[in-house]
Chains A and B, each alone.
Chain A
Amino acid sequence: MVDPLLSVRDLKVHFSVGRGLLNPGQLVKAVDGVSFDIAPGEVVGLVGESGSGKTTLGRSVLRLIEPTSGSIKFNGTELVGLEAQRMKALRSDMQIIFQDPFASLNPRMSVREIIGEALFLHGIGSSADREDRITALLDRVGLPATAAPRFPHEFSGGQRQRIGIARALAVNPKFIVADEPVSALDVSIQAQIINLLQDLRREMGLSLLFIGHDLSVIEYLCDRVVVLYLGKVMETAKAADLYASPRHPYTRALLDAAPVTHPDARRERVALKGDPPSPINPPSGCVFRTRCPFAVEACAQTQPPLTAFGDDQHVACIRANELNLAEYNVQSAATG
């Protein structure tokens, strides 16, 4: 296997909340011991409910949020604890696209200034040919050159998202964290942006960490999928394997929660009740056991390690062997 571009090992991001003068506060384990790799040119999907820590994970990989512990190796360089000057140099290799195209562009800067700043900060091109580069970048994301002097509020959501993508591309990154880049857009625009990302990936050999909760988008775009729950990896597998044969009950539940495209297509479903438990006080053992329809007593005892199944599928469930989730139906669970 090729050396991974990004290699995350046992990453933890803990926040203390409610800390005051006399109150020691409580620890929120937003990301708790996550490991995964992204190969050059690979698109990895990161899925999970809100509050599962996917956004925190995405930002801490870029050190926009400081990790509490663990290791992030990018192209062989350890990012955790890397000094600011070298981190800045590396930032041209790793960029981010945000969810909300209305919050991610500075309303007081024109498109030219927004993209130009990226070029300026990394000393790309002379000030004379920056204008050409900006035009080329706008063209690359499907915007006319006349967009350059305009301000963000003059654009629609989809157009703004294109500007955000142009800003990220300006520094020629190898890797982009796409934090739910289409969740805030109309469905018709979503397809355009996803196709744009798909094109860029093909032409520039970009690696992506694509954070999302729309499973059909993830399936379409991603090579591999990481399923996150309460800051822990539940399952990771090639996209095709994950969708065809999920091995973790949580993965199966997520897949079942996605709407089916045909009204006659009825399936047995694993439905989840309630909300995820508080990350301040997570359940003992397997964090998912409180909502898992297959939980047994043993689940409360130990945290299940990620165990390899077949070709590059890893599952954190002690019952993964005995459960046959691909053909599971509700009746047998009710009686068994």
Chain B
Amino acid sequence: MADLTREAGETLATTAPPQSYWRRVRKRFMRHKPAVFGLCFLVLMAIVVVFGPFVLPYGFDQQDYDLIGLPGPMNAEHWLGTDQLGRDATTRLIYGGRVSLAVGLAGALVATFLGTLIGALAGFYRGWVDTILMRFTDIMLSIPPLPLVLLLSSLFRPSPPLLVGIIGGLIWMGTARLVRSQFLALREREFVEAARALGASGPRLIVRHILPNAIGPITVAATLAVGSAIMTESALSFLGFGILPPTPSWGNLLNAASPWLSTAPWLAIAPGLCILLTVLSVNFLGDGLRDAMEPRE
């Protein structure tokens, strides 16, 4: 009887190399067309905003004093024209993309870290830890962000690192709830109980056994958080509480372009379109990752 099994094991061994989780994820992801499109767009956008400023002939705050006064027209020298201060709009758009994407990515990382930490502790330890952390989450969810931000903006102007912290602090709650529910379900699974029976400590159970099995939903939430972080950054910058001029971001470019909406609409359309396409791509990517990492089997 043992021989039979050994034989069966042998046949198993001669087939494909060990199929890790990630190999299967990649296969399923490639079938999701919008997500692949979103990923391509984001990679392209990343390349442009990272390397663009090195290639462009202008600095983001470099002024052409002859063009000061009104937004300049689009031409071969200035593809998107110039703003009312004589700065090249293409340069500012690309440089602003760099700022917006960096702040969005960093804000999403902060949110994911905070949300995972709080959700994991609440879901794993339950009891009063859960009660305290989740009521705190509820309170954070019930604070309307924009009035809060307007209030804060009258008090001080945040530096970019602080802004990243504020954005992360505004959007971590969804991740926390998601991670908590994952932990509540996973902690009862038998493989966690098996590790407990072997004497594994709480932190080890969290990090080695439960977290890796929640990585799918967390990755999806993190991806979608990038979208909301970019949106939040744009909204804050538009309201004057985010990235401050002369440093451009997509949000403050929109704000700066608003007086010229009728005479030079492209100044607003370009950053608006960038925000739209980037957030859309991020959401497609999130959908694709969800299908790839949490298949309904």
The residues of A with any CB-CB pair to B shorter than 8 Å are: 59, 62, 64, 87-89, 91-92, 94-96, 98-100, 103-110, 117-118, 121-122, 142-144, 146-147, 149-151, 153-156, 158-159, 162, 164, 167, 171, 191-192, 195-196
* Chain B contacts with A in 1-19, Cβ cutoff 8 A: 1-2, 5-6, 8-10, 12-13, 18-19
Task: Give the nearest-CB partner of B200 in chain A.
Answer: A121
The answer to whether residues A96 and B194 also contact, given A88-B199, A107-B21, A151-B20 and a CB cut-off of 8 A, is yes
A154 contacts B18, CB within 8 Å?
yes
A103 contacts B191, CB within 8 Å?
yes
The answer to whether the Cβ of B197 comes within 8 Å of any Cβ in the partner chain is: yes
A147 contacts B2, CB within 8 Å?
no
The answer to whether the Cβ of B209 comes within 8 Å of any Cβ in the partner chain is: yes
* Chain B contacts with A in 184-202, Cβ cutoff 8 A: 189-191, 193-200
Q: Which of A62, A103, A151 contacts B197 (CB 8 A)?
A: A62
For residue B230, give the distance in angstroms from its CB to the closest CB of chain A.
31
The answer to whether residues A117 and B193 also contact, given A144-B13, A154-B18 and a CB cut-off of 8 A, is no
B1 contacts A98, CB within 8 Å?
no
Q: Which of A59, A103, A105, A110 contacts B18 (CB 8 A)?
A: A110
Task: Give the nearest-CB partner of B17 in chain A.
Answer: A149
Q: When each residue 162-201 of chain B gets 1 if its CB lies under 8 Å from chain A and 0 otherwise, what string results?
A: 0000000000000000000000000001110111111110
The answer to whether the Cβ of B159 comes within 8 Å of any Cβ in the partner chain is: no
For residue B13, give the distance in angstroms from its CB to the closest CB of chain A.
4
The answer to whether residues A117 and B8 also contact, given A106-B209, A107-B21, A110-B18 and a CB cut-off of 8 A, is no
CA distance A121 to B208 in the complex (A): 13
The answer to whether residues A91 and B8 also contact, given A103-B190, A108-B213 and a CB cut-off of 8 A, is no
B18 contacts A100, CB within 8 Å?
no
CA distance A109 to B209 in the complex (A): 9
The answer to whether residues A103 and B212 also contact, given A142-B6, A151-B20 and a CB cut-off of 8 A, is no
B196 contacts A64, CB within 8 Å?
yes
Task: Give the nearest-CB partner of B195 in chain A.
Answer: A117
In the assembled complex, 25 residue pairs joining A and B whose CB atoms fall closer than 8 Å, in A order, are: A59-B193, A88-B199, A91-B198, A92-B199, A96-B193, A103-B189, A104-B190, A104-B191, A105-B191, A107-B21, A109-B212, A110-B18, A121-B199, A121-B200, A143-B6, A143-B9, A146-B10, A146-B12, A147-B9, A154-B18, A154-B19, A156-B8, A159-B8, A164-B194, A195-B1
B200 contacts A143, CB within 8 Å?
no
- How many residues on B have C-beta within 8 angstroms of the other chain's C-beta atoms? 29
For residue B216, give the distance in angstroms from its CB to the closest CB of chain A.
10
For residue B64, give the distance in angstroms from its CB to the closest CB of chain A.
57
B195 contacts A146, CB within 8 Å?
no
B200 contacts A151, CB within 8 Å?
no
The answer to whether residues A159 and B198 also contact, given A106-B191, A107-B213, A149-B18 and a CB cut-off of 8 A, is no
B193 contacts A98, CB within 8 Å?
yes
Main secondary structure, interface of B, reads helix
Collect the chain A residues with CB atoms within 8 Å of residue B10's CB: 144, 146
For residue B205, give the distance in angstroms from its CB to the closest CB of chain A.
10
The answer to whether residues A64 and B195 also contact, given A107-B213, A146-B9, A146-B13 and a CB cut-off of 8 A, is no
CA distance A60 to B118 in the complex (A): 29
A121 contacts B18, CB within 8 Å?
no
Collect the chain B residues with CB atoms within 8 Å of residue A146's CB: 9-10, 12-13
Collect the chain A residues with CB atoms within 8 Å of residue B13's CB: 144, 146-147
Collect the chain A residues with CB atoms within 8 Å of residue B213's CB: 106-108
A192 contacts B5, CB within 8 Å?
yes
Closest 4 CB pairs of A and B: A88-B199, A146-B13, A104-B190, A91-B199
Task: Give the nearest-CB partner of A195 in chain B.
Answer: B1
Collect the chain B residues with CB atoms within 8 Å of residue A154's CB: 12, 18-19
Task: Give the nearest-CB partner of A162 in chain B.
Answer: B5
CA distance A308 to B5 in the complex (A): 45
Collect the chain B residues with CB atoms within 8 Å of residue A99's CB: 190
CA distance A100 to B192 in the complex (A): 13
Collect the chain A residues with CB atoms within 8 Å of residue B18's CB: 110, 149-151, 154
CA distance A143 to B6 in the complex (A): 6
CA distance A154 to B14 in the complex (A): 12
B199 contacts A87, CB within 8 Å?
yes
Collect the chain A residues with CB atoms within 8 Å of residue B193's CB: 59, 64, 96, 98, 104
Task: Give the nearest-CB partner of A91 in chain B.
Answer: B199
Task: Give the nearest-CB partner of A110 in chain B.
Answer: B18
A117 contacts B208, CB within 8 Å?
yes
CA distance A142 to B190 in the complex (A): 23
CA distance A94 to B199 in the complex (A): 11
Collect the chain A residues with CB atoms within 8 Å of residue B2's CB: 142, 192, 196
For residue B19, give the distance in angstroms from its CB to the closest CB of chain A.
7
Collect the chain B residues with CB atoms within 8 Å of residue A88's CB: 199
For residue A275, give the distance in angstroms from its CB to the closest CB of chain B.
24
CA distance A108 to B200 in the complex (A): 17
CA distance A144 to B5 in the complex (A): 9
Q: When each residue 204-248 of chain B gets 1 if its CB lies under 8 Å from chain A and 0 otherwise, what string results?
A: 000011001101000000000000000000000000000000000
For residue A146, give the distance in angstroms from its CB to the closest CB of chain B.
4
The answer to whether residues A91 and B197 also contact, given A100-B190, A149-B18 and a CB cut-off of 8 A, is yes
CA distance A5 to B198 in the complex (A): 19
